Amino acid sequence: MSEKDWPLYEVFVRSRAGLSHKHVGSLHAADAAMALEHARDIYTRRAEGVSIWIVQSDAVIASDPSDKEMLFERAQDKAYRHPTFYTIPDEVENL
Amino acid sequence: MTAAASGTELFQYLLRLGDTSLVLGHRLSEWCGHGPALEEDLALANIALDLIGQARLLLQYAGTVEGIGRSEDDLAYLRDGRDYRNLLLVEQPNGHYGDTIARQFLFDAFAVELWADLTRSSDAHIAAVAGKAIKEHQYHWRHSSGWMIRLGDGTDDSHARMQAALEQLWPYTGEMLTPDDVDEAMRAARIGPDLAAIEPRWNARVGAVLTESTLTRPDDGWMQRGGKTGRHSEHLGHLLAEMQSVHRAYPGATW
């Protein structure tokens, strides 16, 4: 292994047109161009995607796990906020 | 098949294409688990699999053209070194990562041009393989030329190692670009490309990347040849011994 680790990147793959990019994992690379090639080799070799986004991991701003209760638990008893009262037509595959 | 070329010449030509892909694919697979970083390990394994996939299609077709019932496995696992027709360049040992990259770079610059021309081959089988292979080679070229620039224009140490790798491998590049009787027969039948026309395109590709890599193009001196007619360096025998050992120990085994 290299003595000095390459920076970490997060990889997002769009599986097909019309869907949004989804986080699939991370990888190390020396720069953005190499990160894109590595992402292609690691995460799309079984035809998983049609588009890749790369974000340097330290650019991701994440919520603090210890804030979990304050941030998210209050939403759990508000069932009326979920659109579960509609019937979805069969033709709509991705909602 | 076109009438102008004999089946024997086409068979020989298919062995050259197929064996070159197979031997280079096997060489790259030797890196599996030993790459300088996990990501590069996977990148090389991907490239190796592309090449082995090409070799299967080409040797399968070679067996059909030969017409005595040999399968791609028979051709890959049951021929000895002197019956192999791969370029000498691709059988050269992996060395350090920079050596492997330099070998790949010199080959990819050729393969991208060769397979682009082969998409227009008068032989429908070869043209079909080329339609798939050209996309693979374009990516391989992007990978190897990118690394040439990174390592050539990297540290003093990486620069010196890449320059040494180039000098070491340069004498094996002439064989790719110099046509012999089989190449000429393929060109006449419009099955294969005009190697004389590929040479300036190869030089332009290699030259542009070497300039960006701050590396010096070695002088064209004595060029090694013989791979295309079965005269190989001592390295091929060792490679085949490993590649063929399982098949020869357990003939006909399936899994």
Q: Can you tell me the mean pLDDT for B68-95?
A: 97
Mean pLDDT, rounded, of chain B: 96
Position B174 confidence tier, pLDDT thresholds 50, 70, 90: very high
Contact B37 A6 (CB under 8 A): yes
Those residues of chain B whose CB sits closer than 8 Å to some CB in chain A are 36-40, 42-43, 46, 139, 142-143, 146, 150
- Asked if A30 has any chain B CB less than 8 Å from its own CB, the reply is yes
**pLDDT value for A3:** 55
pLDDT of B26 strictly over 50: yes
pLDDT of A1 strictly over 70: no
pLDDT of B206 strictly over 60: yes
- The single-letter DSSP state of residue A74 is G
B139-172 tens-digit pLDDT = 999 999 999 999 999 999 999 999 999 999 999 9
pLDDT of B4 strictly over 60: no
Higher pLDDT among residues A74 and B93, named by residue = B93
Position A85 confidence tier, pLDDT thresholds 50, 70, 90: confident
B2 found inside a domain: no
Contact B36 A2 (CB under 8 A): yes
d(CA A9, CA B58): 38
In this complex, which of A28, A33, A41 lies closest to B43 when CB atoms are compared?
Answer: A41
B195 found inside a domain: yes
Supply the CATH number for residue B123's domain. 1.20.1260.10
Domains in chain B, number: 1
Whether the Cβ atoms of residue B180 and residue B91 lie closer than 8 Å to each other? no
Position A90 confidence tier, pLDDT thresholds 50, 70, 90: confident
Helical (H) or strand (E) element with B117:
helix B97-118
**pLDDT value for A95:** 65
- How many angstroms separate the CA of residue B41 from the nearest CA in chain A? 10
d(CA B142, CA B139): 5
**pLDDT value for A38:** 94
In this complex, which of A28, A33, A40 lies closest to B37 when CB atoms are compared?
Answer: A28
**pLDDT value for A50:** 93
* Domain assignment of residue B13, given as a range: 7-249
Q: Can you tell me the mean pLDDT for B98-116?
A: 98
**pLDDT value for B2:** 45
A9-67 tens-digit pLDDT = 999 999 988 899 999 999 999 999 999 999 999 999 888 899 999 999 999 999 999 99
Q: Which residue of chain A has the CA closest to B154?
A: A30
B205 found inside a domain: yes
pLDDT of A84 strictly over 90: no
**pLDDT value for B255:** 75
- Asked if A6 has any chain B CB less than 8 Å from its own CB, the reply is yes
pTM: 0.89
Contact residues on chain B for A40, CB-CB shorter than 8 A: 139
B254 found inside a domain: no
**pLDDT value for A48:** 87
In this complex, which of A2, A33, A41 lies closest to B146 when CB atoms are compared?
Answer: A33
d(CA B88, CA B121): 24
pLDDT of B30 strictly over 90: yes
pLDDT of B51 strictly over 60: yes
Contact residues on chain A for B142, CB-CB shorter than 8 A: 37
Q: How many CB atoms lie within 10 A of CB B10?
A: 25
Contact B37 A1 (CB under 8 A): yes
B158 found inside a domain: yes
Q: Can you tell me the mean pLDDT for B13-17?
A: 98
d(CA B87, CA B195): 14
Q: Which residue of chain B has the CA closest to A9?
A: B39
The amino acid present at B241, given as its one-letter code, is A
**pLDDT value for B126:** 98
Contact B150 A29 (CB under 8 A): no
Helical (H) or strand (E) element with B244:
helix B235-249
Contact residues on chain B for A45, CB-CB shorter than 8 A: 46
Pick from B32, B39, B140 the residue to mutate for testing the A interface (most A CBs within 10 Å). B39
B1 found inside a domain: no
Query: How high is the ipTM of this complex?
Result: 0.76
pLDDT of B226 strictly over 60: yes
Higher pLDDT among residues B7 and B161, named by residue = B161
B139 found inside a domain: yes
Position A81 confidence tier, pLDDT thresholds 50, 70, 90: confident
B175 found inside a domain: yes
Contact A38 B46 (CB under 8 A): no
Whether the Cβ atoms of residue B141 and residue B108 lie closer than 8 Å to each other? yes
